[in-house]
Amino acid sequence: MAPSPLTASPHLQAHLKALHSQSSVQESGLDWASLPKQCTDAFDDIMRDKFIALDQDKCELIYHVLRSINAKTVVEAGTSFGVSTIYLALAVAQNVARDSQAQQGRVIATEKEPSKASVARENWERAGDEIQGVIDLRVGDLRETLEKDLGTVDFLLLDSEYISHPFDGPLLTLSSVWTPLALPAVKLVKPYLRPGAVIMADNTLMANVGYEELLAYLDAPDSGFRRVTLPYTGGLDMIIYQ
Ligand SMILES: C[S@@+](CC[C@H](N)C(=O)[O-])C[C@H]1O[C@@H](n2cnc3c(N)ncnc32)[C@H](O)[C@@H]1O
């Protein structure tokens, strides 16, 4: 097995492992086919106690990219219980610590469900000192929470969709419940992106129908974006702002 790129204490690594494991166990017990196919109250009720955390290998890649581009301001669209946020915060905190001139780093995380946001805070508290003081959690609809005060953004994680488990017909339909939020998030953050900023979008192959509008927008010749689909489970797009 390839080594993890993470520089983290044994405590934090164990915490992350436990969170990913809880998320996987929960997902494997979900009856995906019976989930509502629209973002209704019933759908929200079912998803309120679900992690749907980004896969560990994807989180580690993103951490690695953040270290490479020296990201100090990161936006996360879709925080849930804050698992991927820990990786973002760790990389940003380490980038700031490496640079004696750097001002404070920031991970602007956003989650529409207040109860999920509270659990995320607890998970960050348990993560410990390595990620403290970096996360700016905005509770509410990302179409409002990302409207202002972003600063110059180095990286945007688009993880407001939730398909990561067995792919079949019904799931393709389900994928459209949250993916339509990806394009509004990109449009809101775009004015703040620095040249060379990176956007990662999860499950772009598996949920390609839900992402249709986003991908068409990014692929327009004058969009200012270029992308490649990485061969991670479900497809993971790495998009560069030119
Ligand atoms: C796939 S989960 C995020 C997982 C998280 N990134 C992680 O790895 O732990 C997607 C989250 O997006 C949230 N979400 C959906 N629509 C949203 C919106 N309009 N504004 C903010 N968050 C939203 C959902 O409540 C859900 O918790």
Domain that holds residue 174: 10-241
**Residue 5 forms part of a structural domain:** no
111 CA from centroid of ligand 1 (Å)? 6
Please, which pLDDT band fits residue 118 given cuts at 50, 70 and 90? very high
Q: What is the pLDDT at residue 169? A: 41
Nearest to 184 by CA among 206, 211, 162, 205: 211
- pLDDT tens figures, 148-188: 999 999 999 998 654 333 444 434 444 456 677 899 999 99
- pLDDT tens figures, 38-88: 667 887 888 899 999 999 999 999 999 999 999 999 999 999 999 999 999
Q: Is residue 100 within 8 Å of 129, Cβ to Cβ?
A: no
Q: What is the pLDDT at residue 161? A: 58
Q: What is the mean pLDDT of the chain?
A: 90
Nearest to 80 by CA among 59, 110, 58, 44: 110
Tokens of 45: 């009720």
**Residue 2 forms part of a structural domain:** no
Ligand 1 neighbours by CB, cut-off 6 Å: 52-54, 78-84, 110-113, 116, 141-142, 159-160, 162, 178, 181
Separation between Cα atoms, residue 72 and residue 207, nearest integer Å: 29
Residue 94's identity, in one-letter code, is: Q
With the C-alpha atoms ordered 232, 203, 110, 154, is the resulting torsion angle positive or negative?
positive
What is the end-to-end Cα distance of the chain in Å, rounded?
Answer: 34
Structure-derived torsion over alpha carbons of residues 27, 60, 111, 164, reported in degrees to the nearest 10: -30
Separation between Cα atoms, residue 166 and residue 217, nearest integer Å: 28
99 CA from centroid of ligand 1 (Å)? 31
102 CA from centroid of ligand 1 (Å)? 30
**Residue 3 forms part of a structural domain:** no
**Residue 111 forms part of a structural domain:** yes
45 CA from centroid of ligand 1 (Å)? 13
Residue 209 above 70 pLDDT?
A: yes
Pocket test for ligand 1, best of 80, 181, 188 (most atoms within 8 A of CB): 80
- Output the DSSP codes for 63-113: HHHHHHHT--EEEEE--TTSHHHHHHHHHHHHHHHH-TT----EEEEEES-
**Residue 1 forms part of a structural domain:** no
Separation between Cα atoms, residue 62 and residue 57, nearest integer Å: 9
* Atom from ligand 1 closest to the CA of residue 76: 6
- pLDDT tens figures, 14-51: 999 999 999 999 988 887 767 776 667 887 888 899 99
Q: What is the pLDDT at residue 208? A: 81
Q: What is the pLDDT at residue 40? A: 73
Residue listed under structure tokens 């995906």:
32
CATH number at residue 213: 3.40.50.150
98 CA from centroid of ligand 1 (Å)? 30
Q: What is the pLDDT at residue 177? A: 60
DSSP 46: H
Tokens of 52: 């749907």
Task: Domain count for the chain, please give it.
Answer: 1
**Residue 151 forms part of a structural domain:** yes
**Residue 201 forms part of a structural domain:** yes
Question: 233: Cβ–Cβ under 8 A, 6 or more apart, which residues?
Answer: 55, 58, 164, 206
